[in-house]
Amino acid sequence: MARMINAGRVDVTLSPFEMNPAKAIVVEGIHLVPIEGIKIAIAGSRHWPVSKIHPLGDEFYTALVKGIEQLRRAGIIERAYRECGFFHPELAEWKLLNPSSN
């Protein structure tokens, strides 16, 4: 996508915001910068498949749920999303083009 933008074949692409002052991404020497003031939410979720038939499936699932809850309570999950740019504190006031109807 970066090469297509650089070649003038497309105008925009969706990507996460980087945690640098320009919020820019550099791909193969091509600098992609956000359109200032606007953002788009992409619906989705994260999943971990766990086998119901594996002999340790129930034990693994219980440990996984416990571990995720500990990470959530400690704020580690939210911090990880913030640090990777998924939740970007500087963009709180930017206009969301596709707000959820929930």
In this structure, is the dihedral angle defined by the CA atoms of residues 86, 91, 96 and 101, taken in order, positive or negative? positive
Tokens of 27: 């791909």
- For residues 72 and 63, the answer to whether their CB atoms sit within 8 Å is no
Write the CB contacts of 77 (distance below 8 Å, at least 6 apart in sequence).
68, 71
Tokens of 67: 């571990």
pTM as predicted:
0.63
State residue 96 phi and psi, 5-degree precision: -85, 115
In tens, the pLDDT along 40-88 reads: 888 888 888 999 899 999 999 999 999 999 999 999 999 988 887 778 8
